[in-house]
Structure 1
Amino acid sequence: MKTIITLLKTLLLSHFPSGSSINYHDGLLYLIGDDANELLVLDSNYNQVNAVKLFNYDGKRIPKAQKPDLETSVILNGTLLALGSGATKEREIAVTVSLPLNNSQPFKSSYSTFIKRLHQITEINIEGAAVIGNHVVLSNRGNEANPVNHFIITSTDFISQQETAPIRIISLKLPLPGFAGVSELCYAEKEDILFVILSSEATSNAYDDGAIGDSYFAWVNNISRKLNDKEISLDGIVNLSDVDAAFKGEKVEGVCISSITDNSWILHLVADDDKGASRLFQVNVGVKALLDSSR
């Protein structure tokens, strides 16, 4: 089988904790950490160009019981929207930052009303988001006690229309012998492919961390045609530890696209080591190899 993913470079960010989401917009990367006080802004070579204070807790990492647990973020109408996992009351938070930054100040609000409407899901743990046309697709991460991942389909105005925004919940079928939880989503519009990042972790709930296992890069073809389905299956999956040894022991939690050609995508991944650091990965994904492997 042709090589689908090639690692181009990796960099440890020892000063930035718990990388959980990454977005690309107008030449810049926007990095979120689930217990970080700042939004970190990098150029495509991973040089820091800016930082925006989101919270004012003492120390490098926000204490676990107090952290907003921003696990995913997405660019929506020129605004960066970051979402807490919803696993506790403190984590039912939405943070928006207007782009480009200039003198933008973060705006914080609760999205607890929306979270309460997700009654079909046993345990809430929002860890992924992507914009597909007029829809936002959120992913709810399962765990060993509740081993089902869900996609939540809603509208792009769900934060301002929490009581009335449409909600459709779809279960995700995994072709794995064990369980892995969805940790981020990313949409390639031209090809209508949803990239799905998964990772395995020895934990039985949405609050506690556990021993880190493998991380996976997966995808769903023709995703826009499947948003009314009851269940979605992956069209392909790659264990990142098989791509390069640099991925071993890394809990990949974020992914974004920075460059698209007819032959490949350039993607950026971010991993959380659960010890107060983050690691970035730049990879090349071959379009033809990915599509051929799906057939």
Structure 2
Amino acid sequence: MEKFTLEALFKIIGLGSASGLVYKDNSLFIISDNSTFLYQYHIQEKQLSKIQLLEKGEENIPKKDKYDFESIVLKGNKLHLLGSGSTSKREKRITYNLETKEIIEKDLSQLYQNLKQTASISDNELNIEGALFCNKKWLLFQRGNGVNSKNGIAIINGKLNKNSTIEFIPIQLPKIKHIETSFTDAIFVDEKIYFLATAEDTTSTYDDGEILGSLIGRMDSKTFEIEFTQKISDTQKFEGLTLYQKSETQIEFLLCEDNDSDVLETNIYKISVPKF
């Protein structure tokens, strides 16, 4: 593909293990997989604020207890935060209304159970790492980093509830070294799906492994045919992707990196991808 650029944009202090982000009105809304806060970074002021989502506000939650919010989606005036589903504690959906500040918590355990049955995914291999809403459907991106390497997209008609119909589309992603990459986020832009994927040397959705690299790619939003992939790092695990700005010739995205540590700092990157 044509030349692309990846650059470090800024560092946010006070937030660690970033797992997803949304850019809106010169602010970044960021989630962390080991926190019960929604973070808002005001870019011009370089200030970070925290929005408490659950009754008990916690950061750096131990792995066995964390809610593992891995997906954040802007739909209308609401942010939707989804747990990964990889343990029973990780089956929540939180919505935050940007206008009214209302917070609503919903249990997704039955929906996730139906998804596992539809896709023939075992309890310990479900790992939803990205989500988006397009063509009147929710798409949930299953990260196939378990033993069976089952990457795929769950297509959910209508709302995210236990009565929704589910279709699962397996997706084969490129390898980095000897490991198939697996989804870490996705976004819908101009009728296309742009996604991130990482190769991690582990067969567990729970335990971390050696990072072998990350890539960005694009697929058709109707056929899910992959149109391109490009490796963007040999060592980093990018887990969040949001639209920053676009022109006639290129699209700029912002990315966040999960450093898999307790250090409360997060680097934000910008990647410029040519249109073609």
- In structure 1, the partner of 2:182 is 181
- In structure 2, the partner of 1:253 is 239
Opposite residue 280 of structure 1, the aligned amino acid is I
- In structure 2, the partner of 1:239 is 231
1:283 to 261, 271, 274: 271
Cα drift, residue 37 of structure 1: 3.2
- In structure 1, the partner of 2:195 is 196
- Structure 1's 40 and 156: CA in aligned 2 closer, same or farther, altered over 3 A? farther
Q: Is residue 21–residue 255 contact of structure 1 (8 Å, CA) maintained in 2?
A: yes
Measure the CA separation in 2 of the matches of 1:41 and 1:99. Answer: 11
Q: Is residue 251–residue 273 contact of structure 1 (8 Å, CA) maintained in 2?
A: yes
Opposite residue 183 of structure 2, the aligned amino acid is V
Cα drift, residue 262 of structure 1: 1.3
2:141 to 134, 139, 142: 139
Structure 1 residues not aligned, in runs of 5+: 227-231, 242-247
Structure 2 residues not aligned, in runs of 5+: none
Q: Report Cα offsets for 1:162-204 as digits up to 9, x if no partner.
A: 222121100112233531110101011x3x1100100111221
Cα drift, residue 121 of structure 1: 3.4
- In structure 1, the partner of 2:84 is 85
Measure the CA separation in 1 of the matches of 2:15 and 2:245. Answer: 25
Measure the CA separation in 1 of the matches of 2:166 and 2:59. Answer: 36
- Structure 1's 23 and 59: CA in aligned 2 closer, same or farther, altered over 3 A? closer
Opposite residue 180 of structure 1, the aligned amino acid is T
Measure the CA separation in 1 of the matches of 2:27 and 2:41. Answer: 6
Q: Report Cα offsets for 1:197-248 as digits up to 9, x if no partner.
A: 0011122121111122201101103x1x32xxxxx4421111112xxxxxx4
Q: Is residue 236–residue 257 contact of structure 2 (8 Å, CA) maintained in 1?
A: yes
Opposite residue 253 of structure 1, the aligned amino acid is E
Measure the CA separation in 1 of the matches of 2:110 and 2:73. Answer: 20
Query: Would you tell me which structure has more strand in proportion to its own residues?
Result: 2
Cα drift, residue 155 of structure 1: 2.9
TM-score with structure 1 setting the length: 0.84
The reply on whether 1:65 has 2:64 as its aligned counterpart is yes
Opposite residue 230 of structure 2, the aligned amino acid is V
Cα drift, residue 55 of structure 1: 4.0
Q: Is residue 70–residue 84 contact of structure 2 (8 Å, CA) maintained in 1?
A: yes
Q: Report Cα offsets for 1:1-31 as digits up to 9, x if no partner.
A: 520x212433333421110001122332210
- In structure 1, the partner of 2:37 is 38
- In structure 1, the partner of 2:253 is 267
Q: How many residues align?
A: 267
State the superposition RMSD in angstroms: 2.0
- In structure 2, the partner of 1:244 is none
TM-score with structure 2 setting the length: 0.89
Q: Is residue 37–residue 58 contact of structure 2 (8 Å, CA) maintained in 1?
A: no
2:110 to 69, 88, 113: 113
Q: Is residue 144–residue 179 contact of structure 1 (8 Å, CA) maintained in 2?
A: no
Q: Give the 3-state SS of the residue equivalent to 2:10 in structure 1.
A: strand
Measure the CA separation in 2 of the matches of 1:51 and 1:43. Answer: 11
- In structure 2, the partner of 1:2 is 2
Cα drift, residue 59 of structure 1: 6.2
Opposite residue 129 of structure 2, the aligned amino acid is E
